[in-house]
Protein backbone atom coordinates (compact mmCIF):
# COMPACT_ATOMS: atom_id res chain seq x y z
CA UNK A 1 0.00 0.00 0.00
CA UNK A 2 2.74 2.43 0.85
CA UNK A 3 4.57 1.51 -2.35
CA UNK A 4 1.53 2.66 -4.29
CA UNK A 5 1.72 6.12 -2.84
CA UNK A 6 3.81 7.72 -5.51
CA UNK A 7 3.84 11.32 -6.57
CA UNK A 8 1.02 11.02 -9.06
CA UNK A 9 -1.26 9.36 -6.56
CA UNK A 10 -0.37 11.90 -3.91
CA UNK A 11 -1.11 14.75 -6.31
CA UNK A 12 -4.54 13.36 -7.05
CA UNK A 13 -5.15 12.81 -3.36
CA UNK A 14 -4.21 16.42 -2.74
CA UNK A 15 -6.57 17.50 -5.49
CA UNK A 16 -9.38 15.52 -3.91
CA UNK A 17 -8.72 17.05 -0.51
CA UNK A 18 -8.66 20.51 -2.06
CA UNK A 19 -11.99 19.94 -3.77
CA UNK A 20 -13.49 18.56 -0.57
CA UNK A 21 -12.24 21.58 1.37
CA UNK A 22 -13.73 23.89 -1.25
CA UNK A 23 -17.07 22.08 -1.12
CA UNK A 24 -17.19 22.40 2.66
CA UNK A 25 -16.13 26.02 2.44
CA UNK A 26 -18.97 26.71 0.06
CA UNK A 27 -21.35 25.05 2.47
CA UNK A 28 -20.08 27.26 5.26
CA UNK A 29 -19.99 30.56 3.41
CA UNK A 30 -22.76 32.94 4.37
CA UNK A 31 -24.05 33.21 0.83
CA UNK A 32 -27.57 31.94 1.27
CA UNK A 33 -28.81 32.73 4.72
CA UNK A 34 -32.43 32.65 3.73
CA UNK A 35 -32.75 28.94 4.10
CA UNK A 36 -35.86 27.25 2.84
CA UNK A 37 -36.09 25.84 -0.61
CA UNK A 38 -35.02 22.37 -1.53
CA UNK A 39 -31.90 20.67 -0.27
CA UNK A 40 -29.21 20.55 -2.88
CA UNK A 41 -27.38 17.41 -3.99
CA UNK A 42 -24.51 16.03 -1.98
CA UNK A 43 -21.89 16.78 -4.62
CA UNK A 44 -19.02 15.67 -2.45
CA UNK A 45 -20.53 12.20 -2.16
CA UNK A 46 -21.05 11.95 -5.94
CA UNK A 47 -17.50 13.06 -6.56
CA UNK A 48 -16.07 10.65 -4.02
CA UNK A 49 -17.93 7.64 -5.37
CA UNK A 50 -17.20 8.49 -8.99
CA UNK A 51 -13.56 8.98 -8.20
CA UNK A 52 -13.41 5.80 -6.19
CA UNK A 53 -14.85 3.71 -9.02
CA UNK A 54 -12.22 5.08 -11.40
CA UNK A 55 -9.02 5.24 -9.40
CA UNK A 56 -9.49 3.59 -6.01
CA UNK A 57 -5.80 3.94 -5.34
CA UNK A 58 -6.15 7.72 -5.13
CA UNK A 59 -8.54 7.61 -2.23
CA UNK A 60 -7.42 5.51 0.72
CA UNK A 61 -10.22 4.46 3.04
CA UNK A 62 -9.03 6.55 6.05
CA UNK A 63 -9.05 9.70 3.92
CA UNK A 64 -12.68 9.21 3.00
CA UNK A 65 -13.64 8.53 6.58
CA UNK A 66 -11.75 11.56 7.79
CA UNK A 67 -13.17 13.93 5.16
CA UNK A 68 -16.74 12.93 5.91
CA UNK A 69 -16.11 13.03 9.64
CA UNK A 70 -14.93 16.61 9.28
CA UNK A 71 -18.02 17.36 7.24
CA UNK A 72 -20.12 15.78 10.00
CA UNK A 73 -18.48 18.00 12.56
CA UNK A 74 -18.78 21.17 10.52
CA UNK A 75 -22.36 20.72 9.41
CA UNK A 76 -23.66 19.77 12.85
CA UNK A 77 -24.76 16.27 11.93
CA UNK A 78 -24.49 13.52 14.50
CA UNK A 79 -20.74 13.03 14.40
CA UNK A 80 -19.52 9.73 12.99
CA UNK A 81 -22.70 8.13 11.72
CA UNK A 82 -22.89 9.55 8.21
CA UNK A 83 -19.14 9.22 7.78
CA UNK A 84 -19.39 5.61 8.92
CA UNK A 85 -22.20 5.02 6.41
CA UNK A 86 -20.22 6.61 3.60
CA UNK A 87 -17.16 4.69 4.63
CA UNK A 88 -18.97 1.35 4.51
CA UNK A 89 -20.67 2.25 1.21
CA UNK A 90 -17.40 3.24 -0.43
CA UNK A 91 -15.68 0.11 0.87
CA UNK A 92 -18.51 -1.92 -0.64
CA UNK A 93 -17.98 -0.18 -3.97
CA UNK A 94 -14.23 -0.44 -3.69
CA UNK A 95 -14.59 -4.21 -3.54
CA UNK A 96 -16.59 -4.04 -6.77
CA UNK A 97 -14.19 -1.77 -8.60
CA UNK A 98 -13.33 -4.65 -10.94
CA UNK A 99 -17.01 -4.96 -11.82
CA UNK A 100 -17.39 -1.24 -12.35
CA UNK A 101 -14.54 -1.23 -14.84
CA UNK A 102 -16.43 -3.45 -17.21
CA UNK A 103 -19.90 -1.91 -17.16
CA UNK A 104 -21.07 1.23 -18.91
CA UNK A 105 -22.15 4.45 -17.26
CA UNK A 106 -25.86 3.60 -17.06
CA UNK A 107 -25.26 0.39 -15.15
CA UNK A 108 -22.67 2.04 -12.97
CA UNK A 109 -25.21 4.78 -12.26
CA UNK A 110 -27.80 2.20 -11.25
CA UNK A 111 -25.33 0.47 -8.95
CA UNK A 112 -24.30 3.74 -7.32
CA UNK A 113 -27.95 4.76 -6.95
CA UNK A 114 -28.71 1.50 -5.19
CA UNK A 115 -25.79 2.03 -2.83
CA UNK A 116 -26.87 5.60 -2.12
CA UNK A 117 -30.43 4.51 -1.37
CA UNK A 118 -29.12 1.81 0.94
CA UNK A 119 -26.87 4.32 2.67
CA UNK A 120 -29.70 6.78 3.23
CA UNK A 121 -31.99 4.07 4.52
CA UNK A 122 -29.36 2.69 6.86
CA UNK A 123 -28.56 6.16 8.13
CA UNK A 124 -32.18 6.93 8.87
CA UNK A 125 -32.74 3.49 10.36
CA UNK A 126 -29.88 3.88 12.82
CA UNK A 127 -31.04 7.35 13.76
CA UNK A 128 -34.54 5.96 14.34
CA UNK A 129 -33.20 3.10 16.46
CA UNK A 130 -31.24 5.36 18.77
CA UNK A 131 -34.15 7.81 18.74
CA UNK A 132 -32.32 10.86 17.45
CA UNK A 133 -34.62 13.51 16.00
CA UNK A 134 -33.99 13.58 12.28
CA UNK A 135 -35.02 15.60 9.29
CA UNK A 136 -38.25 14.86 7.49
CA UNK A 137 -38.38 11.87 5.22
CA UNK A 138 -39.45 13.81 2.15
CA UNK A 139 -36.57 16.24 2.50
CA UNK A 140 -34.00 13.51 2.72
CA UNK A 141 -35.65 11.68 -0.20
CA UNK A 142 -35.47 14.85 -2.30
CA UNK A 143 -31.85 15.24 -1.37
CA UNK A 144 -31.22 11.62 -2.31
CA UNK A 145 -32.94 12.07 -5.67
CA UNK A 146 -30.88 15.16 -6.42
CA UNK A 147 -27.70 13.39 -5.42
CA UNK A 148 -28.44 10.41 -7.64
CA UNK A 149 -29.32 12.75 -10.50
CA UNK A 150 -26.10 14.67 -10.03
CA UNK A 151 -23.92 11.57 -10.24
CA UNK A 152 -23.45 11.57 -14.07
CA UNK A 153 -22.53 15.23 -13.81
CA UNK A 154 -19.80 14.40 -11.34
CA UNK A 155 -18.60 11.64 -13.64
CA UNK A 156 -18.46 14.05 -16.60
CA UNK A 157 -16.48 16.55 -14.54
CA UNK A 158 -14.14 13.79 -13.39
CA UNK A 159 -13.64 12.51 -16.89
CA UNK A 160 -13.16 15.74 -18.83
CA UNK A 161 -11.98 18.28 -16.32
CA UNK A 162 -10.02 16.37 -13.74
CA UNK A 163 -8.90 13.62 -16.14
CA UNK A 164 -9.75 10.87 -13.72
CA UNK A 165 -10.74 8.04 -15.98
CA UNK A 166 -11.15 4.35 -15.79
CA UNK A 167 -7.85 2.65 -16.49
CA UNK A 168 -7.52 1.58 -20.10
CA UNK A 169 -6.44 -1.91 -20.93
CA UNK A 170 -2.73 -2.36 -20.45
CA UNK A 171 -2.30 0.88 -18.50
CA UNK A 172 0.36 0.69 -15.84
CA UNK A 173 0.97 2.64 -12.69
CA UNK A 174 4.16 4.40 -11.65
CA UNK A 175 5.77 1.16 -10.61
CA UNK A 176 5.03 -0.48 -13.91
CA UNK A 177 2.40 -2.81 -12.54
CA UNK A 178 -0.73 -3.52 -14.51
CA UNK A 179 -3.82 -1.78 -13.22
Partner 1 sequence: MPSDRTNEADYVRPVRRLVIAVLVLVLGGMFLLWRIDSPRVERFRMAFVDAVVPNMDWAMAPVTRASRMVEDFRSYARIYEQNQELRRELQQMRAWREAALQLEQRNAQLLDMAQVRLDPQLTHVTGVVMADAGSPYRKSVLINVGARDGIIDGWAVMDGLGLAGRIAGVGQRSSRVILLTDSNSRVPVMLQPSGQRALVSGDNSTMPVLEFIEAPDDIRPGDRVVSASDGGVFPPGLLVGEVVQGPDRRLRVRLAADYGRLDFLRVLRSRPAERIDHSGALLRPLDGEGQPLDTAPEAPAGAADE
- Distance in Å, CB of 70 to partner 1, minimum: 8
- Name the β-bridge partners of 124: none
Interface residue with partner 1, options 12, 16, 51, 87 (CB under 8 A):
87
The answer to whether 30 contacts partner 1 (rule: CB under 8 A) is yes
Q: Is 167 in the site for partner 1 (CB under 8 A)?
A: no
Is 133 among the residues that bind partner 1 (CB under 8 A)? no
Binding status of residue 121 toward partner 1 by CB under 8 A: no
In the bound state with partner 1, the residue whose beta carbon lies nearer, of 3 and 138, is 3
- One-letter-per-residue 3-state SS of the chain: CCCCCCHHHHHHHHHHHHHHHHHHHHHHCCCCCCCCCCCCCCHHHHHHHHHHHHCHHHCCHHHHHHHHHHHHHHCCCCCCHHHHHHHHHHHHHHHCHHHHHHCCHHHHHHHHHHHHHHHHHHHHHHHHHCCCCCCCHHHHHHHHHHHHHHHHHHHHHHHHHCCCCCCCCCCECCCCCEC
Residue 178 touches partner 1, criterion: CB under 8 A: yes
Closest CB to partner 1 among 82 and 151? 82
Judge whether 122 and 163 are in contact, CB under 8 Å. no
Instruction: Select from 107, 121, 132, 149 the one that contacts partner 1 (CB under 8 A).
Output: 132
Residue 73 in contact with partner 1, rule: CB under 8 A: yes
Q: Which is nearer to partner 1, 51 or 87 (CB)?
A: 87
Report the interface residues with partner 1, using CB under 8 A.
1, 3, 25, 28-31, 61-62, 65, 69-70, 73-74, 76, 78-81, 83-84, 87-88, 91, 95, 98, 130, 132, 177-178
Amino acid sequence: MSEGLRFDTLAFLGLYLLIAALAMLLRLLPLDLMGGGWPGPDLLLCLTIGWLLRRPAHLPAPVIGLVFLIEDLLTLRPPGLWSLTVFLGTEFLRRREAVAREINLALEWAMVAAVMVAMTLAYRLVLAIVMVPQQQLDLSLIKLAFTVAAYPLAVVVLHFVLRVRKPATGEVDELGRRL
